Structure 1
Amino acid sequence: MAKVKICGLTREEDINIVNYYQPDYIGFVFAESKRKVTKEKAARLKRQLDTNIQAVGVFVNTPIQDILDLCNENIIDMIQLHGNEKEDYILELKNKLPHPIIKALRPDSKENIEKSLTLPSDYLLVDTYIEGQFGGSGRTFDWSILPGKAEKIFLAGGLNAGNAEDAILTCRPYCLDVSSGVETDGLKDALKVKAFIDIVRNVTQNIN
Structure 2
Amino acid sequence: MKVKTCGLFRQEDIVFANVLQPDFVGFVFAPSRRQIDIAMAQKLKEALLDSIQAVGVFVNAPKEEIAQIARLKVIDMIQLHGDESEEYISELKVLCDLPIIKAVCVRSARDLGVVNGADYMLYDALNAGSGMRFDWGLLEGFCAKKPYFLAGGINAQNLAQAMRLDSYAIDVSSGIESHGFKDFEKMAHIIRTVRAFPSVDENLSNEEKR
Common fold by TM > 0.5? yes
Equivalent residue number for residue 93 of structure 2: 94
Superposed, which structure 2 residues align to 1:59-138 within 5 Å?
59-114=58-113, 116=114, 118-130=115-127, 135-138=128-131
Match of 1:187 in 2: 181
The 2-side partners of 1:110 and 1:152 are apart by 17
Q: Tell me how far apart the structure 1 counterparts of residues 39 and 21 of structure 2 sit (CA, whole Å).
A: 23
Query: In the alignment, which residue of structure 1 is the partner of 2:132?
Result: 139
Q: Which has the larger radius of gyration?
A: 2
Report the Cα distance in structure 2 between the residues aligned to 1:137 and 1:153, rounded to whole angstroms.
20
The Cα shift of 1:99 comes to 0.4
Unmatched tracts of structure 1, length 5 or more: none
Confirm or deny that 1:163 pairs with 2:162: no
Length-normalised TM-score, structure 2: 0.91
Q: CA deviation at 1:185?
A: 0.7
User: Which moves more between the two structures, 81-90 or 198-207?
Assistant: 198-207
Q: Return the offset for 1:162.
A: 1.8
**What is the percent sequence identity of the aligned residues?**
47
Residue range with higher mean Cα deviation, 21-30 or 154-163 = 154-163
Could you tell me which amino acid in structure 2 is paired with residue 119 of structure 1? N
**3-state SS in 1 of match to 2:5:** strand
Paired AA for residue 78 in structure 2: I
Q: Deviations over 1:56-89 (max 9, x none)?
A: 0000110011100110110000000011100000
CA RMSD, Structure 1 to Structure 2 (Å):
1.4
Equivalent residue, structure 1, for 2:22: 23
Does the 8 Å CA contact 1:104/1:124 hold for their aligned counterparts?
Answer: yes
On the 8 A contact 1:168/1:204 being kept in 2, the answer is: no
Residue 149 (structure 1) shift: 2.9
Partner Cα distance (1:149, 1:5) in 2? 22
Distance 1:86 1:180 in 2: 28
Residue pairs, 1:40-55, within 5 angstroms? 40-55=39-54
Deviation at 1:96, TM superposition (A): 2.0
SS at match of 1:28: strand
Find the aligned partners of 1:153 and 1:27 in 2 and give their Cα distance: 15
CA contact (8 A) 2:105 2:111 kept: no
Cα distance in structure 2, aligned partners of 1:175 and 1:113: 16
* Aligned structure 1 segments of 4 or more residues deviating by more than 4 angstroms: none
Amino acid at match of 1:187: F
Letter in 1 for 2:119: D
Q: Distance in 1 between matches of 2:83 and 2:142?
A: 25
120-129 or 197-206, which deviates more = 197-206
Question: Does the 8 Å CA contact 2:176/2:182 hold for their aligned counterparts?
Answer: yes
Q: What amino acid sits opposite 1:202 in the alignment?
A: A
1:9-35 residue CA offsets vs partner (Å, 9 max, x unmatched): 011100000000000000000000000
TM-score, structure 1 normalization: 0.92
| CA drift at 1:205 | 4.8
61-70 or 197-206: which moved more? 197-206
